[in-house]
Structure 1
């Protein structure tokens, strides 16, 4: 059983082949055109997807060692994401499926991030039900309770900005290039996380807020640069370490609250920010200190990728959950939909 997964929700064009839950290929084409604009430009993203999707799918099939005629179904991201980008993947999936006379399976991008944990890999363990997943990315920050593959409940979420945006905007304040989140992680390893203090927002036990933190960081940097124009250059590593420490502390505080409220100690992370080295380290320590069992995805399955779309499509395929050709892309889609 071969499932082709197609991911085109934002600025990465990706295609993957999964055979009975095992990844045979996972090809990703990044779009570097957005770096000079300091963020993703939707129109440029959709144009790049149009250029990349055919060669990316062709490469995925080639690396998997199969022909397109061997495919059992095509899974694609139907949302959430940038509408123009989603339309490229949706249209391509429908066209190829019609030509091959095989079913299509629309996939919720946020569910796919969580279900990436069910990719069969000897180096990874799969969480048992129920478990809690902290889904952290550039567009989402949520705590989700998962009762089965497709029964999910949002326990808490951000009331304003996502954690990935907090990392990227903080990096922009420091004059770092886009995307800045990975650079903060890199420089934080060389700095003192206790060098500077940033206040943590006061919101509900399981909810998040990052807009105030971003503003606090902006005012702090502006004040310090006014006092010393060389402040950022002289303290970059310590500032990055302090910012990262504060953000990770917020995430860990919410997870501790979740465990107390739900009494579920199987904790997973998913989404692009789950690649952050500090949150990974803190989760490993949580196993020792608090008796949690944690599930951390491989790096290649954290950022947007088609393997997570393919595994979700595979799980839906097993339940005969196909999508009609009338299925349309949706820019906004909750993880429970």
Structure 2
């Protein structure tokens, strides 16, 4: 039997505390091979749940000792996520990681793992409102601005109000396969028939750029191979991080890190289309921390892999050139060029 320890800190959203019981309880009921114990473990100072639902006073049958033999430790978000966690929490999380336990965080729970130093040098994500904040406070983390569930070694992080559901289904899929996870998901959810085109249009909208950030955009695109951070970009733009983020969203529809990711993916597509250099080298030239990071983001935003993209262009008979070839970069429907509108208006 696998033990799932849910670490309840004061101000944790109530739905993030109850979701593990729903997911793993449903899996156990419908699939005899799935055996889980879900423990609610109270951190020191636990009093009540937090937003978005009304606060509820709660107690938990276990304390931090409940993490000692867990197979998975799940850390929900909490109120005051920038503050130091209660005494003993960081030590308990480090001890769990040291013995090989899988450790997951949902939303602002990522800040708790970051405070323990467990995500240094790794990829991670958090809710979109806190992506820039996480990158600023913890520059050693490779923050994924578009991630839903990000897995790096034994660590899982998730964004969004349903991030806890995503993480639990991910763990279930790892343990018992996609079929069990899929059937459990269908038991719990009624699909929402949202207008996907409208959502994509909102996320990827193209807004004419102002001269105010144009030099910084050109600089970023010229320095993609460097490990640019949010403070680096703000320094170049000679503004604060908060002001930089507002200006980027106003003029590109994206945050600075999202814009940087899109630019790197566009450069990777250009190199794949116009050169025959190895994918590993493409990743480095485009500024990705590893070939695995390139493949992850490439699939997330284009629905295919770098190698498949290259094969498709070769089959279409395109000629290869040197890495500094002048062919226009390929644009997938999921990854629009934020400069396209300016070019069309200039004709």
- Please, what TM-score do these two structures have when normalized by structure 2? 0.31
- Please, what TM-score do these two structures have when normalized by structure 1? 0.32
| Structure ranking higher on relative contact order (CA contacts 8 Å, 6+ apart) | 1
Please tell me whether Structure 1 or Structure 2 has the larger radius of gyration of its CA atoms: 2
